[in-house]
Structure 1
Amino acid sequence: MTKRPVLVVLFDGVQSLDVTGPVEVFSAAGHFTADADADAYPIRTASLDGAPVRTASGLRLTPDTPLAGTEVEHTLLVPGGEGTRAPDPRLVDWLREHAPRARRLLSVCTGALLLAEAGLLDGRRATTHWAHCDRLARRHPAVDVDPDPIFVRDGRIATSAGVTAGIDLALSLVEEDHGREVALAVARVLVVFLRRPGNQAQFSAQLAAQTARREPLREVQRWISEHPEGDLSVEALAARARLSPRHFARAFRIETGMTPGRYVERIRLEHARRLLEDSRDGVEEISRACGYGTPEAMRRAFVRTLGAAPAEYRRRFRGHVSAHTESP
């Protein structure tokens, strides 16, 4: 089996989950490969001087080796965290010199800022935590910053959004290297979604909206998410919340930041996208499962929001996946 060593850069103020999330994915993957090679992704951690670092949450991490003299064999992972606000110039210099040697260069969260400081993202498309995209764009105008995706692949360089997005990125790489079944097995062990494409939004529809303060409205939000195929008219939802339609619509908008109709539209579209990506169901079946009623209604929603009909969206998605099936 081809081994793909992973070198993880550590520094004071690093976000611990940026490190441990991808490491857990790579570590678990070996147990599910064809020959169950637990060392499919040999992992090393390194800090500037080889000394322990304190994470942003106060945990101490002890690296395996100092960065000086450490060779990048395959994958270099650069996490983010508070330590990226005023990075040690020696770290930036090390990245500038050594990161170009990596066959795969990955950043998690604000680790993209370190790559940008080293000039490694100039002329490339990249993302980072949504709260730091403006900062990345202002400080590094040569970087094409996309604030929406969970992760972005641009050649051998991949940048991911905030914190847990590093898990999504790592899972996508495991899928490239060893196939969907291995990646899915890892996702199940870690109890996370297997999000294959980087073009998913950083926020799900539920996260994009505020959570209502009152329990009846929160229950309605849960109901919508769990029953996209149901009767989600204002009248039906108001009855579930035991409010008049007018009072419900007003309260829902005030507490969630969007109208009930807009929330339902986002939930249904997100559910339809996932079914197109992860199932073999036909467009007509998916349109019923997502509450659109007819394929034409779903087509109009997709064209209006995504600029592509459902069949075209599925074709593009599969093209995106197949474009990355060759292992580096």
Structure 2
Amino acid sequence: MLVPGVHLLDLAGPAQVFSGARDIGLPYELAYVADAAEVPSAQGSALRAETDLPVLTADDLIVVPGWRAPRLAGTGPLSPALLDWLRAHPGAVASVCAGADALGRAGLLDGRRCTTHHDLQDELARRYPAATVVRDVLYVTDGPVVTSAGIASGIDLALHLVATRHGPATAARIARSMVVYARRNGGDQQASALLRHRSHVDDTVHRLQDVIESRFHERLTLADLAGVAACSERTVTRMFTRATGLTPLRYQQILRVERAEHLIGHGSTVESAARAVGFEDGRMLRRLRAAVSSPPR
């Protein structure tokens, strides 16, 4: 269901997943509906859509991609007819990013858990007080309603729906064909450690982070980092802490623990996940899981 100002990746991510499912023989047919035959996208290109709304069954899925929305109020125009069609759907509905607002206007979020892009979570909660907005997760499933965070999380949402309907092996096959690095769980944070500590403007520290991220499973010393930055070990620690709020060692530990948590969430044992990310054994990982979750000093 296309809304004026739709973000292309909000649309293309899920569409690619379901067309990939069709390509391997699953019975998917994609259709695009809107209030007008031509829908402008946020990125400038126009999209074609059907204006005759199809009669759906419980086997059908409606996906509402998000649109350009610095705020929800006053954005995403939808006709009463389109909202009525969405509201009356007997099957599952899903949204990406601001698309959750369309579900809210149709009354589909009332009494349900949901999520959206982290910049819009507070406003979504104010607009729909009967809903429970779950913050900083990739997607939330509550009965037939599935909502996801922003942009690329629509891929995670669609892969989750495929896995639920056809099994995780099928979802993994589609993810591989899309060259998706990993299928993330719904409870994963919207912003990984790779992004949370990258909001500074220190180019040297960014270079150091690049090195740590590419070799986070190795034993990196301050001397190694000092060689990259062409300065003393003491200066490396001072610059890194000033820019990120963390020491280089703590940053590496956070990356290791986050990757280990991902591996455990996808079936690895604590021991195998610990060794895969560079820890000596599971005991060290268990200790650091608690330490990394505490506020940095």
TM-score (norm 1): 0.79
* Unpaired runs of at least 5, structure 2: none
Contact in 2 for aligned 1:96/1:119 (Cα 8 Å): no
- Per the TM alignment, residue 285 of structure 1 is displaced from its structure 2 partner at its CA by 3.2
Within-5 A mapping of 1:177-256: 177-210=165-198, 213=201, 216-256=204-244
Where do 1:239-278 residues align within 5 Å? 239-278=227-266
1:17 to 6, 9, 30: 9
Q: CA deviation at 1:82?
A: 2.6
2:262 and 2:239 mapped to 1: Cα distance? 30
2:103 and 2:140 map into 1 onto residues whose CA distance is 14
Aligned residue identity for 1:82: R
What SS does structure 1 have at the residue aligned with 2:31? strand
Task: Please list the CA deviations of residues 150-205 of structure 1 after superposition, one character each: whole Å capped at 9, or x if unmatched.
Answer: 11111111101001111111011112222233222222222223324101111121
Gaps of 5+ in 1: 1-8, 308-328
What amino acid is the match of 2:279? Y
Match of 1:78 among 64, 72, 85: 64
* Structure with higher helix content: 1
Give the distance between the partners of 1:208 and 1:41, measured in 2 at CA. 37
Structure 1 stretches of 4+ moved >6 Å: none
- 3-state SS, counterpart of residue 135 of structure 1: helix
Q: In 2 relative to 1, CA 211–305 (structure 1 residues): closer, same or farther, beyond 3 Å? A: closer
1:160 counterpart residue number = 148
Query: 1: distance between equivalents of 2:52 and 2:292?
Result: 49
**Whole-angstrom distance in 1 between the partners of 2:267 and 2:203:** 33
Kept in 2: contact 1:78–1:108 (CA 8 A): yes
May I ask how many residue pairs the two structures share in their alignment? 289
Instruction: Name the structure 1 match of 2:20.
Output: 28
CA shift digits 1:59-110 (9 cap, x unpaired): 111103333xx3233101111113754243525x633554352421100011
* Stretch moving more, 234-243 or 116-125: 234-243
Q: CA deviation at 1:234?
A: 4.0
Aligned pair partner of 1:300 in 281, 284, 287: 287
Q: Hey, what does 2:52 align to over in structure 1?
A: 66
| Structure 2 residue 38 is the aligned partner of structure 1 residue 52 | yes
CA distance in structure 2 between the partners assigned to 1:222 and 1:242 by the alignment: 15
> What SS does structure 2 have at the residue aligned with 1:301?
helix
What is the letter of the counterpart of residue 13 of structure 1?
A: G
The answer to whether the 8 A contact 2:4-2:77 is kept is no
Deviation readout 1:245-275 (Å, 9 max, x if unpaired): 2211221133345432332222011110122
Aligned to 1:90: 79
CA contact (8 A) 1:272 1:290 kept: yes
Alpha-carbon contact 1:76-1:99 (below 8 Å) kept: no
